C-alpha cells in the first residue's frame, strides 16, 4: 500500500507543481519518491488481504514500472528545459505518476474489482496524455480512438467479470473452478479485456494509430509501462485459471499476434508505426510463455518485459531527440545520425539490436528463454513459427541499424539538454548492466 | 584466468578507443592494445605448452545453467595466435587518414575480442554468442568506412551472415531439444543446418556471392580481418561443433561436402583468372583456398585435418600480405584496377620481391608455407578418393596461373609513365619483412607448427569423423 500512497501524493504535488515554491526540487523529490515507493514494498512484504496481495510478482513488476516512469520523467523534464524559457510540463508528469500507480495496482490485486479499478486508473491518464498535444490533429484523433476502444474493452472486461461471478459465485480467481460454460466465457472475456491493453491481435487495431498520434516521449513510456503492467496482470490471472479453458484461444492469439505484427512491420515507413507493429509482435512472443504456465513462465515474462521496456524506451528516446532536431519520425530521418551524434547512435543501435534479439544484448536472452519454454512444452510447430518470426523481425530491425550510417538529410549535430543526456546515459548503463548481470533479473523468482 | 584476460582485454580497450578522437592517439592506443593482446596470447601459449590444457569456468547466468566456460586445445590456440597477429598487421598497416579513427580502431579491437572468444569458448551457447558478435563489428566497419557501393554490399553481407547464424541457432536448438543425444536422422538435419552456417562463413560455392563485393568494398584493414580470420571461423565451426554434434551426418555427407568444396576450388580459381580488380582476384583465390581447406577437413584423415589447420595459418599470413601490398599500391596510385597498374617493379624492387614471395607462398611453392599445408591436404584427399585429389590439385596449377597473371599486371610491363615514387615507410618495410621471413620460415621448418596443431586432444573429432 505504501508505494501507491506515495505515488498518489507525488501525483498531487505534480498537479500543484505550477504554483508550488522551490520548483527546482520537483525532480529530485519525484525520483526520491519513486525510490521510497519501491522500498515501501519491503516494509509490508508479503501482504495479502481480500482486496490486495503485494507479493513477489507485484514487487518485481512494480519495480520495473517505477524504473520506466523514473527514466521517462527525467526525459520529459529534460524536454521542458530544452525549449528555453518554458517550464517542465508538471501536469503531464503528474498524469504519468498517476498512471504508474494504476500500473502498480494491476500487479497487486487479489479481488477482480481491484483489477478493474487498476486498469481504469492506468487508462484514464493515458487517454489524456495521448491527446496532450492539443494542437496536433493526429494527437486528438488518437486520444479519442483510444478512449472509445478502451471503453469498449473495459466493458468487455466488466462483462466477463459479471459472467465469472454468475458462473462461480466469487470475485476471487482460482478459488472456484469455472466448470460452467458461463464461468469459462467470463474468463475468456476478462483475458480479452487485458489483452486489449497489451495490444494482442485481434484487439490491436488501436496500437499503430495511438503510437503515432501520441507525443513521442509519451509513446515510449506508454509502450513500455502498459506492456509490463498488462503482462504482469495476465501472469497473475492465468496462473490461477485452468489451462483447458483458455489454452487454445491464447495459443491462436499468440500465433496471430506475432505473425501479423511482424509481417505488417516490414513495410512501414513511419518509425512509430513500425515500432507499434513490432510491439504487437513482441506481445505475441510474450503470450507464448503461458502455453502452458510452468515455474519458468514468470521469470521469462518478467525478463522479457524488462528487456522490451528497456529497448523500447531507448528507441523512443532517440526518435524524440530526432523530432526535436526538426525531423519527422520517418525511417529516412535516421539517415546520417552517426555523423550528427555518436552517443545517440550508440543508444539507438543497442536498443534496436536488443529488440531484434542479437546476442549478447538482453533481448537475446529474453527470446532464448521464450524459445526454451516452447521447446520444453514440446510444441514443435509453434517453435518453427516463432523462429520464422524472429527471422522476419531481424530483417526489418537491421534496416533501422543500416540507415544511421548512410548519407543524411541534415548535417547539423544533435543537441540535447542536460536531463536528456542523463536519461540517455542511464539507459546505456542499464542496457550494459543487463548484458553483464542478467542473473540479477533472472534469479528473483 | 589468463584466457579471460585474453578475451576481455580487446573489448575493454575497444571501449577506451571509442572515446579517442585524434588520428595519432587512437592509432597509438590500438597499437599498444594489439601488442599487449599479442603478448597475452603468446604467454597463454607458453602456459599451454607447460600444462597441456588451459581452461577457465565461472558462472554467468545460473538460472539457465550457462557458464562462461573457455578452454583451448592446440588448434584453438593456433587460431588465437592468428587472431592476435592479423589485427596487429591491420593496425600497423593503417596509415591513411580516416574519419572517426577512434571508432574505427574500437570496432577492429571489438572484432578481435569476439574472435578470441569464439576460438576459446567451450560451450555451444558461447559459441553462438561470439559467432553473432563477430558479425556486428564487420558490418559497422563496412557501413562506416567502405567504398562507394557499401550500402548494397553491407545489406548482402548481413543478410547472408544472419541467415547463417539463424541456421546455426536452429541447429543448436535442435541439439538442445534432444538433450545432446541426437538421433541418426536428427544428425542429418543438424548437419545440414550447421553446414549452411559454416558454408556461408567460409564461404563455399554456392553460398559465396557476398564475398567478392565485401572484399572489394571494405577498407584494407577490414579486408585483412575478414579474409585472414573471419573466414577461418567457418572451418573452426566444422572442427568444434559439426564433427562433435553431428558425426554421423559428417560420415554420410562428407563426399557431397567435398564435392561442393571442389566445385568452389575450380569455380574460384577460374574466376580469379579473369578478374580485373586486385582485391577481386584475392577474393576468388581465397574462395579456392578455403574450399581446399574445407574439403580436407572432411577427408577425415589426420594428414588432411593437420594440413588444413596448418594452412589456415599460412593462408591468413599470405592473404594479409597480399592485401597489405594492394593497400600500399592503392595509397600511391589511387587505383587497384589491373588495367591501370603496371611497371611498379621499376619503382620499388623491394615491394616486388615481397610480392613474389607472398605469391609463391600462396600457390604452394616448395620451401614456402603453402607447400606444406597443400601437400598434406592433397595426401588426405587422395586417401579418400584419388579423383578428389586430382581435381583439388588443379587448384595449384590454376593458382600459379592467376597469381602470375596478377604479378605480371601489377609489377611488370611498362605501366603508367607518371607513376609516383614508392617510398615505403619503416613500419611497412618491417611488417612486410616479417611476413616474408615467416612465409619462408614456416616452409623450411614446419615441424614446430605441425606439432602445435596435432595434440592428442584432436583425436576426438578425428575418430568421430571416421567411426
What sign does the dihedral A308-A310-A316-A322 (CA atoms) show? negative
Q: Name the grid cell of A269.
A: 515507413
Give the residue among A314, A209, A304, A218 at the shortest CA–CA distance from A254. A304
Give the residue among B215, B214, B274 at the shortest CA–CA distance from B405. B274
Distance between CA atoms of residues A237 and A128, nearest Å: 28
- Residues facing residue B61 across a β-bridge: B66
Per residue in A35-71, pLDDT (tens digit) is 999 998 888 878 888 888 888 889 999 999 999 999 9
Residue B189: the pLDDT is 85
How wide is the angle at C-alpha A126 spanned by C-alphas A324 and A34, nearest 5°? 80
- φ, ψ at B233 (rounded to 5°): -55, -40
What sign does the dihedral B141-B143-B145-B147 (CA atoms) show? positive
What sign does the dihedral A105-A111-A116-A117 (CA atoms) show? negative
Nearest residue in A to B144, CA atom: A405
Contacts of B60 in chain A (CB under 8 A): 439
Cis peptide leading into residue B344 (ω within 30°): no
Which residues have a Cβ under 8 Å from the Cβ of A212 and sit 6 or more positions away? A138, A142, A270, A272, A273, A276
Three-state DSSP at B56 gives strand
Name the DSSP class of B59.
Answer: E
For cell 466469487, the residue is: A170
Residue B449: the pLDDT is 80
Instruction: Please state, as a whole number, how many other Cβ atoms lie within 10 Å of the Cβ of residue B316.
Output: 23
Domain that holds residue A52: 2-442
Q: Name the grid cell of A250.
A: 491464447
Specify whether the CB–CB gap between B80 and B72 falls below 8 A.
Answer: yes
Contacts of B143 in chain A (CB under 8 A): 402, 405-406
| Mean pLDDT of all residues in A147-173 | 91
Distance between CA atoms of residues A262 and B74, nearest Å: 45
What sign does the dihedral A421-A423-A426-A431 (CA atoms) show? negative
Give the residue among B325, B315, B329 at the shortest CA–CA distance from B439. B315
Distance between CA atoms of residues B201 and B194, nearest Å: 11
Instruction: Please state, as a whole number, how many other Cβ atoms lie within 10 Å of the Cβ of residue B359.
Output: 24
Distance between CA atoms of residues B119 and B78, nearest Å: 9
pLDDT level of residue A323 (50, 70, 90 thresholds): confident
Three-state DSSP at A48 gives strand
For cell 577498407, the residue is: B219
Partner residue facing B176 (CB), from A353, A375, A405: A375
CB contact under 8 A, B155 and A391: no
Per residue in A183-220, pLDDT (tens digit) is 888 889 999 999 999 999 889 999 999 999 998 889 99
CB contact under 8 A, A439 and B133: no
Distance between CA atoms of residues B174 and B346, nearest Å: 60
Specify whether the CB–CB gap between B361 and B368 falls below 8 A.
Answer: yes
Residue B125: the pLDDT is 86
Angle, helices A342-356 vs A297-324, to 10°: value is 150
DSSP letter string over A188-213? HHHHHHHHHHHT-TTS-THHHHHHHH
CB contact under 8 A, B144 and A371: no
Residue B54 belongs to what H/E stretch? strand B54-61
Name the DSSP class of B240.
Answer: I
- Residues facing residue B72 across a β-bridge: B54
Total residues found in chain A within this entry: 445
Residue A95: the pLDDT is 93
Name the DSSP class of B458.
Answer: G
Q: Name the grid cell of A103.
A: 500500473
How wide is the angle at C-alpha B269 spanned by C-alphas B431 and B365, nearest 5°? 50
Residue B68 belongs to what H/E stretch? strand B66-72
pLDDT level of residue A21 (50, 70, 90 thresholds): confident
Name the average pLDDT for chain A: 88
For cell 501482504, the residue is: A47
The answer, for B103 touching chain A at a CB cutoff of 8 Å, is: yes
Contacts of A338 in chain B (CB under 8 A): 144
Contacts of B133 in chain A (CB under 8 A): 359-360
Residue A68: the pLDDT is 95
Give the residue among A34, A95, A19 at the shortest CA–CA distance from A67. A34
Distance between CA atoms of residues B104 and B89, nearest Å: 15
Specify whether the CB–CB gap between B369 and B361 falls below 8 A.
Answer: yes
Contacts of B173 in chain A (CB under 8 A): 371, 375, 383, 387
Instruction: Please state, as a whole number, how many other Cβ atoms lie within 10 Å of the Cβ of residue B271.
Output: 19
Cis peptide leading into residue B266 (ω within 30°): no
Contacts of A405 in chain B (CB under 8 A): 140, 143-144
How wide is the angle at C-alpha B436 spanned by C-alphas B431 and B438, nearest 5°? 95
**% of chain A exceeding 70 in pLDDT:** 97
Distance between CA atoms of residues B300 and B309, nearest Å: 13
CB contact under 8 A, A338 and B62: no
The distance of A308 to chain B (nearest Cα, Å) reads 19
Nearest residue in A to B134, CA atom: A359
Specify whether the CB–CB gap between B114 and B137 falls below 8 A.
Answer: yes
Angle, helices A181-198 vs A137-168, to 10°: value is 160
CB contact under 8 A, A358 and B136: yes
The answer, for B382 touching chain A at a CB cutoff of 8 Å, is: no
For cell 525531423, the residue is: A327
The distance of B320 to chain A (nearest Cα, Å) reads 27
Expressed in percent and rounded to 5, the helix, strand and coil fractions of chain B are 80, 5, 15
Specify whether the CB–CB gap between B333 and B341 falls below 8 A.
Answer: yes
Distance between CA atoms of residues A83 and A65, nearest Å: 27
The answer, for B173 touching chain A at a CB cutoff of 8 Å, is: yes
For cell 554434434, the residue is: B245
Contacts of B159 in chain A (CB under 8 A): 395
The answer, for B148 touching chain A at a CB cutoff of 8 Å, is: no
| Mean pLDDT of all residues in A322-347 | 85
Specify whether the CB–CB gap between A226 and A250 falls below 8 A.
Answer: no
Phi-psi region of A416 (alpha: psi -120 to 50; beta: other; left: phi over 0): beta
The distance of B335 to chain A (nearest Cα, Å) reads 24
Partner residue facing A299 (CB), from B63, B155, B176: B63
**A–B interface: beta-carbon pairs under 8 A:** 57
Contacts of B62 in chain A (CB under 8 A): 439, 443
CB contact under 8 A, B136 and A353: yes
Contacts of A406 in chain B (CB under 8 A): 143, 151
How wide is the angle at C-alpha A419 spanned by C-alphas A414 and A425, nearest 5°? 75
CB contact under 8 A, A405 and B143: yes
The answer, for B158 touching chain A at a CB cutoff of 8 Å, is: yes
- Among B67, B135, B169, B219, most A C-beta atoms within 10 A, so best to mutate, is B169
The tally of domains found in chain A comes to 1
**Which chain A residues touch B if contact means CB-CB below 8 Å?**
299, 338, 342, 353, 358-360, 364-365, 368-369, 371-372, 375, 383, 387, 390-391, 394-395, 398, 401-402, 405-406, 438-439, 442-443
Specify whether the CB–CB gap between A125 and A145 falls below 8 A.
Answer: no
DSSP letter string over A251-278? HHHHHHHHHHHHHHHHT--BHHHHHHHH
CB contact under 8 A, B162 and A398: yes
Nearest residue in B to A379, CA atom: B177
Query: What are the residue ranges spanned by the domains of chain B?
Result: 1-122, 123-466
pLDDT level of residue A79 (50, 70, 90 thresholds): confident
Distance between CA atoms of residues A291 and A375, nearest Å: 11
Contacts of A382 in chain B (CB under 8 A): none
CB contact under 8 A, B129 and A360: yes
Residue B419: the pLDDT is 74
The distance of B11 to chain A (nearest Cα, Å) reads 13
Three-state DSSP at A240 gives coil
pLDDT at position A118 over 90: yes
Give the residue among A227, A15, A276, A273 at the shortest CA–CA distance from A122. A227
Residue A80: the pLDDT is 67
The distance of B59 to chain A (nearest Cα, Å) reads 10
- Among A378, A439, A440, A441, most B C-beta atoms within 10 A, so best to mutate, is A439
Which residues have a Cβ under 8 Å from the Cβ of A416 and sit 6 or more positions away? A78, A82, A321, A341, A344, A424
pLDDT level of residue A267 (50, 70, 90 thresholds): confident
- Among B171, B174, B177, most A C-beta atoms within 10 A, so best to mutate, is B177
Residues of chain B with pLDDT below 70 are 96, 180, 415-417, 453-467
Nearest residue in A to B160, CA atom: A395
Which residues have a Cβ under 8 Å from the Cβ of A18 and sit 6 or more positions away? A87, A90, A91
User: H-type helices in B124-240, by residue range?
Assistant: 124-145, 150-177, 184-201, 211-217, 220-225, 231-237
Give the residue among B378, B326, B396, B438 at the shortest CA–CA distance from B93. B326
Give the residue among B176, B162, B179, B61 at the shortest CA–CA distance from A383. B176
Contacts of B158 in chain A (CB under 8 A): 398, 402
pLDDT level of residue A126 (50, 70, 90 thresholds): very high
Instruction: Please state, as a whole number, how many other Cβ atoms lie within 10 Å of the Cβ of residue B335.
Output: 14
Residue A291: the pLDDT is 85
Distance between CA atoms of residues B416 and B400, nearest Å: 25
Instruction: Please state, as a whole number, how many other Cβ atoms lie within 10 Å of the Cβ of residue A326.
Output: 11
Distance between CA atoms of residues B249 and B43, nearest Å: 38
Residue A82: the pLDDT is 57
The distance of A104 to chain B (nearest Cα, Å) reads 26
Amino acid at each position: 500500500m505504501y508505494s501507491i500512497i506515495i505515488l498518489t501524493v507525488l501525483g498531487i504535488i505534480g498537479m500543484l507543481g505550477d504554483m508550488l515554491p522551490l520548483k527546482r526540487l520537483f525532480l529530485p523529490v519525484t525520483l526520491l519518491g519513486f525510490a521510497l515507493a519501491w522500498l515501501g514494498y519491503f516494509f509490508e512484504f508479503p501482504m495479502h488481504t481480500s482486496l490486495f496481495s503485494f507479493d513477489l510478482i507485484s514487487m518485481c513488476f512494480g519495480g520495473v514500472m517505477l524504473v520506466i516512469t523514473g527514466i521517462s520523467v527525467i526525459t520529459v523534464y529534460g524536454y521542458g528545459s530544452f525549449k528555453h524559457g518554458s517550464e517542465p510540463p508538471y501536469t503531464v508528469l503528474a498524469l504519468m505518476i498517476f498512471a504508474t500507480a494504476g500500473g502498480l495496482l494491476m500487479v497487486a490485486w487479489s479481488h477482480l474489482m481491484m483489477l478493474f479499478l487498476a486498469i481504469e486508473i492506468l487508462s484514464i491518464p493515458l487517454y489524456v496524455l495521448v491527446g496532450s498535444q492539443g494542437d496536433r490533429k493526429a494527437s486528438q484523433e488518437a486520444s479519442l480512438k483510444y478512449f472509445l476502444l478502451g471503453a469498449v474493452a473495459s466493458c468487455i472486461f466488466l462483462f466477463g467479470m459479471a459472467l465469472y461471478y454468475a458462473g462461480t459465485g466469487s470475485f476471487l480467481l482460482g478459488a472456484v473452478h469455472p466448470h460452467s460454460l458461463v464461468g469459462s466465457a467470463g474468463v475468456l472475456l476478462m483475458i480479452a479485456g487485458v489483452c486489449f491493453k497489451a495490444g494482442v491481435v485481434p484487439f490491436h487495431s488501436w496500437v499503430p494509430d495511438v503510437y503515432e498520434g501520441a507525443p513521442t516521449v509519451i509513446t515510449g513510456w506508454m509502450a513500455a509501462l502498459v506492456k509490463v503492467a498488462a503482462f504482469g496482470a495476465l501472469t497473475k490471472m492465468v496462473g490461477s485459471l485452468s489451462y483447458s479453458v483458455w489454452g487454445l484461444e491464447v495459443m491462436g492469439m499468440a500465433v496471430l499476434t506475432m505473425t501479423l505484427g511482424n509481417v505488417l512491420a516490414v513495410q512501414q515507413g513511419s518509425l512509430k508505426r513500425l515500432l507499434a507493429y513490432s510491439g504487437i509482435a513482441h506481445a505475441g512472443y510474450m503470450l507464448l510463455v503461458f502455453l502452458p504456465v510452468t515455474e519458468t513462465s514468470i521469470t521469462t515474462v518478467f525478463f522479457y518485459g524488462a528487456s522490451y521496456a528497456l529497448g523500447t524506451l531507448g528507441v523512443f528516446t532517440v526518435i524524440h531527440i530526432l523530432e526535436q532536431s526538426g525531423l519527422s519520425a520517418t525511417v529516412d530521418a535516421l539517415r546520417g545520425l552517426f555523423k550528427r551524434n555518436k552517443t545517440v547512435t550508440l543508444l539507438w543501435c543497442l536498443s534496436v539490436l536488443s529488440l531484434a534479439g542479437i546476442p549478447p544484448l538482453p533481448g537475446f536472452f529474453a527470446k532464448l528463454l521464450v524459445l526454451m519454454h516452447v521447446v520444453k512444452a514440446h510444441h514443435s510447430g509453434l517453435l518453427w513459427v516463432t523462429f520464422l518470426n524472429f527471422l522476419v523481425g531481424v530483417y526489418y530491425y537491421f534496416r533501422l541499424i543500416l540507415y544511421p550510417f548512410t548519407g543524411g538529410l541534415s548535417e547539423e549535430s544533435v543537441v540535447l539538454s542536460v536531463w536528456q543526456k542523463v536519461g540517455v546515459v542511464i539507459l546505456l548503463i542499464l542496457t550494459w548492466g543487463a548484458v553483464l548481470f542478467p542473473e540479477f533479473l533472472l534469479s528473483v523468482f | 584466468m589468463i584466457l579471460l584476460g585474453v578475451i576481455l582485454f580487446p573489448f575493454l580497450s575497444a571501449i577506451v578507443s571509442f572515446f579517442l578522437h585524434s588520428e595519432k592517439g587512437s592509432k597509438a592506443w590500438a597499437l599498444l592494445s594489439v601488442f599487449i593482446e599479442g603478448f597475452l596470447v603468446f604467454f597463454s601459449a607458453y602456459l599451454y605448452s607447460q600444462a597441456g590444457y588451459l581452461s577457465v569456468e565461472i558462472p554467468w547466468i545460473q538460472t539457465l545453467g550457462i557458464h562462461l566456460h573457455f578452454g583451448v586445445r592446440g588448434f584453438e590456440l593456433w587460431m588465437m595466435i592468428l587472431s592476435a597477429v592479423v589485427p596487429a598487421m591491420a593496425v600497423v598497416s593503417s596509415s591513411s587518414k580516416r574519419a572517426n579513427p577512434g571508432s574505427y580502431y574500437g570496432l577492429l579491437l571489438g572484432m578481435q575480442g569476439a574472435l578470441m572468444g569464439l576460438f576459446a569458448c567451450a560451450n555451444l551457447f558461447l559459441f553462438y554468442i561470439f559467432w553473432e558478435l563477430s558479425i556486428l563489428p564487420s558490418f559497422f566497419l563496412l557501413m562506416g568506412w567502405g567504398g562507394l557501393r557499401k550500402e548494397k554490399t553491407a545489406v548482402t553481407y548481413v543478410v547472408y551472415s544472419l541467415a547463417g547464424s539463424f541456421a546455426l541457432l536452429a541447429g543448436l536448438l535442435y541439439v538442445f531439444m534432444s538433450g545432446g543425444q541426437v538421433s541418426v536422422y536428427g544428425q542429418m538435419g543438424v548437419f545440414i543446418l550447421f553446414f549452411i552456417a559454416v558454408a556461408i562463413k567460409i564461404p563455399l560455392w554456392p553460398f559465396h556471392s557476398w564475398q567478392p563485393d565485401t572484399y572489394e568494398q571494405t577498407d584494407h584493414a577490414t579486408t585483412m580481418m575478414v579474409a585472414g580470420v573471419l573466414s577461418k571461423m567457418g572451418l573452426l565451426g566444422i572442427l568444434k561443433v559439426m564433427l562433435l554434434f553431428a558425426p554421423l551426418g559428417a560420415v554420410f555427407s562428407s563426399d557431397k561436402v567435398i564435392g561442393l568444396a571442389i566445385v568452389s576450388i575450380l569455380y574460384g580459381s577460374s574466376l580469379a583468372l579473369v578478374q580485373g580488380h586486385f582485391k577481386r582476384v584475392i577474393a576468388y583465390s581465397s574462395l579456392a583456398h578455403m574450399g581446399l581447406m574445407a574439403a580436407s577437413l572432411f577427408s577425415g584423415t589426420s594428414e588432411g585435418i593437420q594440413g588444413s589447420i596448418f594452412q589456415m595459418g599460412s593462408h591468413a599470413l599470405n592473404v594479409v600480405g597480399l592485401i597489405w601490398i594492394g593497400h600500399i599500391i592503392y595509397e600511391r596510385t589511387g587505383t587497384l584496377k589491373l588495367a591501370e597498374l603496371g611497371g611498379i617493379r621499376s619503382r620499388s624492387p623491394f615491394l616486388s620481391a615481397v610480392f613474389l614471395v607472398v605469391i609463391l607462398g600462396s600457390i604452394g611453392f616448395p620451401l614456402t608455407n603453402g607447400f606444406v599445408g597443400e601437400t598434406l591436404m592433397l595426401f588426405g584427399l587422395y586417401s579418400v578418393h584419388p579423383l578428389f585429389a586430382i581435381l583439388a590439385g588443379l587448384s595449384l596449377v590454376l593458382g600459379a596461373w592467376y597469381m602470375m597473371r596478377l604479378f605480371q599486371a601489377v609489377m611488370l610491363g611498362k605501366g603508367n609513365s607518371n607513376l609516383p615514387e614508392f617510398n615505403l615507410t619503416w613500419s611497412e618495410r618491417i611488417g612486410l619483412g616479417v611476413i616474408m621471413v615467416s612465409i619462408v620460415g614456416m616452409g623450411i621448418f614446419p615441424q614446430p607448427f605441425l606439432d602445435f596443431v596435432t595434440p592428442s586432444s584432436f583425436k576426438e573429432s578425428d575418430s568421430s569423423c571416421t567411426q
